Amino acid sequence: MISSSKTVCLLPGDGIGPEVVAAAKAVMVTVGDLFGLALRFEEHAFGGDAIDRFGTPLPPETLEACKRADGALMGAIGGPKWDHLSGDSRPEAGLLGLRKELGVFANLRPVAVPESLAHLSVLPPDKVAGTDVLVVRELIGGIYFGKPRVLAADYAIDTMTYTVQEIERITRVACTWAMRRNGKVTSIDKANVLAVSRLWRETASRIAKDEFPQVVVEHMYVDNAAMQLVLNPRQFDVILTGNLFGDILSDLASTLAGSLGLLPSACLGGITPLFEPVHGSAPDIAGQNKANPVAAILSVAMMFHEWAMPEIANLIEESVSNVLLQGNVTADLVLEGQPFIRTSDFTLLVVNEMTSKYNRVAIDV
Ligand code: IPM
Ligand code: MN
């Protein structure tokens, strides 16, 4: 029995966001029941939904609620409905603003392909089985936030910038994780072209050498890294990279597992930890009970890890694996025309698996 209470701020957002957040909430409610944990939920407008209802993608109430909470869970944001909007008024600006305001500079995106689930991969199972990569993406700097940013009629400017201090702190996160894992960090940059990348490389090397002598750090250009992730993904342990490269490489890495719908993430290091499935809002399947809830459910597991409740996190992770192992997959993981499990049914399978697994363990004890 865990006697503690937690407040979770739910940000369903757009597209399939509300469906996957509902699935994640069902899992959290189950956790509350099984472990006697008092979980309090708040739901707030975010992204395009908040633009429609309040005229801004990140209403002040939403931000304040996230700051007060013990954790925030986002569903997804964006969609064609808001594509005509520019820059600061887009749904995406709400997410970038939330990350920045919370100060969550470290985005952890794990991609694990256990042997038993390698058949779900887009790539040949024997190439990907055993892959276990943690992408550590810098989240509140780089070209996503650099100034000046200009969109004129005949030219445009985005600015990639990183300070030494920003590179140092994200390097420390990557190296700390490497020490808990297999001791290797691959820092990914474009140091053959970009000045920012040369500073990145130098700083990452220095921090690793001075503070983490047990960690092996290697450097790789981002173009090669994209290829290596496909050719030989098992060579990677922790990937350390900036905001833009991390965004791109994590989508690529999702093909190793089989679908973007499987990848969770945690945004850490700030006022409140924020958890986000890596996938987008998938407007084409929104509202059809077809979305894969695994990314959102595993993001909840990351929340419990962050709260130092590993037994709960492990129960969620093992239950999801078991449901997948039993051959239950959502539409994103089957060929067109093949049978698949709907979002709410998949979630129910996970909830049932959690309950029966918890009871089995309780009886064994
Ligand atoms: C992600 C998304 C976001 C990003 C968008 C929606 C702003 O693609 O979390 O990977 O680029 O960070
Ligand atoms: Mn992305």
Ligand nearest to the CA of 266: 1
The answer, as to whether pTM is greater than 0.85, is yes
- Residues 100, 148 within the same domain: no
- Residues 326, 228 within the same domain: no
Q: Which helix (H) or strand (E) holds 64?
A: helix 60-68
Ligand 1 atom with minimal separation from the 243 CA? 12
The verdict on the CB of residue 95 being under 6 Å from ligand 1 is yes
Average pLDDT over residues 10-34: 98
The verdict on the CB of residue 93 being under 6 Å from ligand 1 is no
- Residues 345, 323 within the same domain: yes
- Residues 96, 13 within the same domain: yes
pLDDT above 70: residue 79 = yes
Ligand nearest to the CA of 251: 2
Ligand nearest to the CA of 252: 2
CA 302 to centroid of chain Cα atoms: 9
Phi and psi for 11 in degrees, rounded to 5? -125, 85
- Residues 312, 344 within the same domain: yes
Question: What local confidence, expressed as pLDDT, does residue 335 receive?
Answer: 87
- Using DSSP's 3-state secondary structure scheme, residue 203 falls into helix
Ligand 1 centre and the CA of 251: distance in Å? 10
Q: For residue 25, give every residue at least 6 positions away whose Cβ sits within 8 Å of its Cβ, in sequence order, or none.
A: 10, 41
In a domain, 256, yes or no: no
Ligand 1 atom with minimal separation from the 78 CA? 6
The verdict on the CB of residue 138 being under 6 Å from ligand 1 is no
- Residues 118, 226 within the same domain: yes
- The CATH number covering residue 23 comes to 3.40.718.10
Express each pLDDT in 199-249 by its tens digit.
Answer: 999 999 999 999 999 999 999 999 999 999 999 999 999 999 999 999 999
- The 3 state secondary structure assigned to 89-141 is HCHHHHHHHHHHHHCCCEEEEEEEECHHHHHHCCCCHHHHCCEEEEEEEECCC
Q: Probe ligand 1: pick from 46, 143, 247, max atoms within 8 Å of CB?
A: 247
**How crowded is the C-beta side of 224, counted as CA atoms within 13 Å?**
12
Question: What local confidence, expressed as pLDDT, does residue 336 receive?
Answer: 86
- Which residue has the CA at smallest separation from atom 9 of ligand 1? 278
The residue segments making up the domain with residue 316 are: 1-104+270-365
Task: Please list the active-site residues.
Answer: 144, 190, 223, 247, 251
- Residues 16, 65 within the same domain: yes
Express each pLDDT in 298-348 by its tens digit.
Answer: 999 999 999 999 999 999 999 999 999 999 999 999 988 999 999 999 999
- Residues 173, 234 within the same domain: yes
Domain count, the chain: 2
In a domain, 263, yes or no: no
- The CATH number covering residue 221 comes to 3.40.50
- Which residue has the CA at smallest separation from atom 7 of ligand 1? 92
Ligand 1 centre and the CA of 339: distance in Å? 30
Distances (CA, A) of 112 to 15, 83, 121, 134: 26, 33, 11, 8
In a domain, 255, yes or no: no
In a domain, 257, yes or no: no
Structure tokens at 228: 């290596």
Ligand 1 centre and the CA of 16: distance in Å? 15
- Residues 289, 308 within the same domain: yes
Mean confidence (pLDDT) of the chain: 97
In a domain, 229, yes or no: yes
